[in-house]
Structure 1
Amino acid sequence: MSTYREERRADQAAERTADRDDRRLELESKLVYKRQLAEDERAEKERKAEQARKDAETKRRQDQAEARRRQDEKARNRAARIARLGKVSRWVNANPVTVFVAFVMMSSVIPAVISQVGALGDTGVHVMLAALLAAMLEGGAWAITFMGKAAEDAGRPAGKYRIGTWCTAAVAAGVNYWHWAEKLPDAQWVAVVFAASSLFAIYLWDMKTHGSHGRTKEERKAERARRAHLAARKKDHKDIAKQAALLLSAMPYGSIDEEEAFAAAWRIHKGAEPGLSPEVYAAATNAKVALGAAFELGEHVRPQMVRAGMLAGLYNPLNPLSRRPAASVPALDAPASAPAAQTPAEGATAQAGIGMYGTPVYRKKASESASEKATGNAGGDAGGNTPRGRSPQELEALLPQAHKLAQELVAEGRQISAASLAKGLKIRREDGMWLRDRVIEERKLHLVAGA
């Protein structure tokens, strides 16, 4: 029996322990649940706070963007207004005549319209009808005026429009004059003023649109010169001018002008460009040949004869320098004297660096020969071992450098010599002599061609 009770008490204790465990677990579950609810509430509050912060930031950015947009829009509108004002200002500055003409025209048209309304109103016409009739007269005149301007801009005749404008304006002026002449018989000048107000605006517009259409003084002068030129052409070149007229009439209209026709006729008759002919070419060729012969003669005659020719020109009474004989020219009885030989050369040949009297390149003076012998090894090394002779093709390739070096020598006041060329180009003396001859010959030919 005791054992049963003990087992009963043990079972009851176990039940009580299980109940306590159940209540403890239930309490722990409730606590966990409450903590989870609190955590969820806290997370929800943080989420809502973060969302509110983001919403506020987004709204702030939107507000800033909207403010910037409004500022940009305001700035664009301001810039557009300034641009429009600037455009208007530039137009006014560029067209002051139009501005003042428009102002004066309004000042003339408005009194004329009011006067016509009063004139028609005094006869018993209703004021609205009087206003419409006055607008018909003045507005009709200006409508015809603008139609004439449009026709003139399009290249159509505008004479009938100008006539219609003046006729309509004359009728309006007559109405104004009649009204004020009857109303103020003792002040006829008032009637004249109001009549003129209907005509003055038309006259001002006509002066603006047609007063500056004439040719300028320079254009009239150029036209007179052109006509004089054509008259002289027809007088001096009758056959060619006749042929040019035939070409103009034969070709399609507008395909060629007078100058092109005359140039074609000149080529037909003369076989050359306008202004040139076989005779002109022959004269130019003969002059070049004579000049070349003069250079050739000057290269072979004695220096005394050249000096005699120079003195003859110096004492020529037509020469402005004839009264100032050159002090550096020695006497005629001292040929080939030392001072004369050392005097620097003057003239085209000296400026070209080819000697005083244009000595032929194949004849070297004794002084030049000595100088070239002294510097004969300028293009070689110190031991006298000079490079091999250059071929004609290689020398031709060196010719531009030789010309450049020759220009430098002439600029320094020195003569073009084989030694200088050989030293500057680092070639043999014999090759330098060949280049010197070619350079001098080409420079002489250039002088003759330029003359």
Structure 2
Amino acid sequence: MSYREERRADQVAERAQDREDMRLKLEAQLEAKKIAAEEKRKDSEAKAEQTRRDAEAKRRQEQADKRARQQEKERNKAARRAKYGKVTGWLNRNPVTAFVGFVMVCSIVPAVISQVGALADAGVFVLLAALLSAMLEGTAWALTFMGKKAEDEGRPAGKYRVATWVTAFLAAAVNYWHWSEALPNQTWVAVVFAASSLIAIYLWDMKTHGSHGKTTEERREEKARKQHLADRRKHHKDIAAEADRLLSALPFGSIDEEEAFATAWRIKMGAEPGLSAEVYANATNARVALGAAFELGEHVRPELVRAGMLATLYNPLPNRLSEGIPTLGPTLPIPALQRSSGAATALAGIGMYGSEAASGNARENASEKDGGSTGGNASGNSPRGRSDEELEALLPKALKVAAELVAEGNQISAAALAKRVGIRRDDARRLRDRVIAERKLKLVDGDDTELAG
């Protein structure tokens, strides 16, 4: 290759390099512009976002301030409502105090003004007259509140009330003297102004004392209590005296009157108040007598027995006879109402709480009917009969035979005992009496299950 060709090749290469350099430069400039534009866009977006955030923060702050102002306004309104409600609530709870206070103000103010005028007309300096008038009325009210405090604390308040009324009448006298001279032809005006010094004291005294005291029910209860204590001392003098001795012997306040009387009753009677040995004895005798009234003979038909027992269901008294005396138990066993007509006559062995005197005729008739064919000596005993010791030995067997007779619905008769035990009729009568007495004791003690077995 010649020099020229090399030179042209070099020039071509240089121009190509220049074009490449220019292209790279232009690309670099374009890239720089793009980067600058992107940065500018980002800056604009950042500024816009900051502006939006600032606006949002401002809006939120304004809303928070608005809510705070609203809450403060509502709190103030609630406080005003609470204060108003407190006042109105107090007025609703204390209408008497409110109206008394209103009338007292309307009474005191004219009284003070009237006294100032009275003292001023008498030549006293107006300011001094006002102080003296306030002193007079203020003394009355100071004494009134001092008496109220003493009364609330349980101390005597009579001297304060007396001093209050003396001061009030003194103020009333001043007002009456002034207006009777100022208006001699209109005495009623003097009376009205004199009353203005008394009305307020009178209303307050009526409020603090007239509204207190016992109610009608409390007075009635107190009267009944005093009557009860008087009747107690009248009917139970010895026990009341013993109770007084207990109260004086024990430390003061350790027991009250009711506890002392109950203790004295237990000491004297040995039972709870209202009960005694005589009461228990009378109740027991009444139960035995009632049992004797139900004593049945063998000639009574079973349906009549059951009808009599069922009649207690229609007892017009508030409580049925079957409820009996709480301390001693029922007088008529409930199971008797639930048995059949045949089982009802089983109670005829000795009746409910039978007595030998109440059923002597029935037993004798039963004896004649049951044992008429056995003769006078069913077992061949000797004519002299058995001794008491021998009959006592036969008592357990006789009791068992009696229970069998009652279970079968038969009477405990001498003839039946003579036949089943194997003894003479006379001995059977004596043994029968012992059996009846033994069953009475067990029945009164409440051992119904053993007798029924």
Q: Which bin holds the TM-score, normalised by the shorter protein?
A: 0.5 to 0.7
Amino acid at match of 1:354: R
Amino acid at match of 1:204: L
Q: In 2, are the aligned partners of 1:349 and 1:357 still within 8 Å (CA)? A: no
Distance 1:360 1:16 in 2: 155
Equivalent residue runs for 1:89-238 within 5 Å: 89-238=88-237
Q: What is the aligned partner in structure 2 of residue 359 from structure 1?
A: 344
Q: What is the aligned partner in structure 2 of residue 31 from structure 1?
A: 30
User: Which digits, 9 at most, give the CA deviation of each residue in 1:149-196, with x for residues without a partner?
Assistant: 122112122222222322322232232223222322232322221111
Relative to structure 1, the CA distance from residue 301 to residue 47 in structure 2 (aligned partners, 3 Å threshold; closer, same or farther) is farther
Q: In 2, are the aligned partners of 1:180 and 1:190 still within 8 Å (CA)? A: yes
Distance 1:96 1:254 in 2: 41
Relative to structure 1, the CA distance from residue 44 to residue 285 in structure 2 (aligned partners, 3 Å threshold; closer, same or farther) is farther
Q: Does 1:304 align with 2:304?
A: no
User: Which digits, 9 at most, give the CA deviation of each residue in 1:286-315, with x for residues without a partner?
Assistant: 4444555666x45x744439849989xx9x
User: Aligned-pair distance for 1:59?
Assistant: 4.1
Distance 2:192 2:154 in 1: 36
Distance 1:133 1:8 in 2: 139
Distance 1:40 1:74 in 2: 50
Q: What is the aligned partner in structure 1 of residue 424 from structure 2?
A: none
Q: In 2, are the aligned partners of 1:141 and 1:168 still within 8 Å (CA)? A: yes
Q: In 2, are the aligned partners of 1:349 and 1:355 still within 8 Å (CA)? A: no
User: Which digits, 9 at most, give the CA deviation of each residue in 1:257-304, with x for residues without a partner?
Assistant: 111111111111112111111222233334444555666x45x74443
Q: What is the aligned partner in structure 2 of residue 283 from structure 1?
A: 282
Distance 1:291 1:207 in 2: 65
User: Aligned-pair distance for 1:214?
Assistant: 2.9
Q: In 2, are the aligned partners of 1:263 and 1:273 still within 8 Å (CA)? A: yes
Relative to structure 1, the CA distance from residue 230 to residue 39 in structure 2 (aligned partners, 3 Å threshold; closer, same or farther) is same
Distance 1:48 1:248 in 2: 100
Relative to structure 1, the CA distance from residue 158 to residue 349 in structure 2 (aligned partners, 3 Å threshold; closer, same or farther) is closer
Compute the RMSD of aligned alpha carbons: 3.9
User: Aligned-pair distance for 1:98?
Assistant: 1.7
User: Which digits, 9 at most, give the CA deviation of each residue in 1:312-345, with x for residues without a partner?
Assistant: xx9xxxx99xxxxxxxxxxxxxxxxxxxxxxxxx
Amino acid at match of 2:338: G
User: Which digits, 9 at most, give the CA deviation of each residue in 1:22-48, with x for residues without a partner?
Assistant: 444343333222222222222232233
TM-score, length of structure 2 as denominator length: 0.62
Q: How many residues align?
A: 332
Amino acid at match of 1:285: T
User: Aligned-pair distance for 1:121?
Assistant: 3.0
Distance 1:18 1:167 in 2: 134
Q: What is the aligned partner in structure 2 of residue 53 from structure 1?
A: 52
Unaligned segments of structure 1, at least 5 residues: 321-346, 364-443, 447-451
Amino acid at match of 1:212: S
Distance 2:55 2:128 in 1: 68
User: Aligned-pair distance for 1:117?
Assistant: 2.2
User: Which digits, 9 at most, give the CA deviation of each residue in 1:228-263, with x for residues without a partner?
Assistant: 211211121111111111111122222211111111
Relative to structure 1, the CA distance from residue 238 to residue 53 in structure 2 (aligned partners, 3 Å threshold; closer, same or farther) is same
Amino acid at match of 1:176: N
User: Which digits, 9 at most, give the CA deviation of each residue in 1:356-403, with x for residues without a partner?
Assistant: 47527899xxxxxxxxxxxxxxxxxxxxxxxxxxxxxxxxxxxxxxxx
Q: In 2, are the aligned partners of 1:349 and 1:358 still within 8 Å (CA)? A: no
Equivalent residue runs for 1:338-349 within 5 Å: none
Q: In 2, are the aligned partners of 1:113 and 1:135 still within 8 Å (CA)? A: yes
**Aligned residues: percent identity?**
63
Q: In 1, are the aligned partners of 2:306 and 2:344 still within 8 Å (CA)? A: no
Which is further off, 101-110 or 209-218? 209-218
Q: What is the aligned partner in structure 2 of residue 245 from structure 1?
A: 244
Distance 2:33 2:306 in 1: 137
Which is further off, 52-61 or 143-152? 52-61
Q: In 1, are the aligned partners of 2:247 and 2:255 still within 8 Å (CA)? A: yes
Equivalent residue runs for 1:363-402 within 5 Å: none
Equivalent residue runs for 1:437-448 within 5 Å: none
Q: In 1, are the aligned partners of 2:116 and 2:126 still within 8 Å (CA)? A: yes
Distance 2:218 2:270 in 1: 34
User: Which digits, 9 at most, give the CA deviation of each residue in 1:105-134, with x for residues without a partner?
Assistant: 111111111112222333444443333332
TM-score, length of structure 1 as denominator length: 0.62
Q: In 2, are the aligned partners of 1:151 and 1:157 still within 8 Å (CA)? A: yes
Q: In 1, are the aligned partners of 2:305 and 2:341 still within 8 Å (CA)? A: no
Distance 1:197 1:158 in 2: 24
Unaligned segments of structure 2, at least 5 residues: 317-331, 349-445, 449-453
Distance 2:147 2:111 in 1: 22
Higher relative contact order (CA 8 A, sep 6+): 2
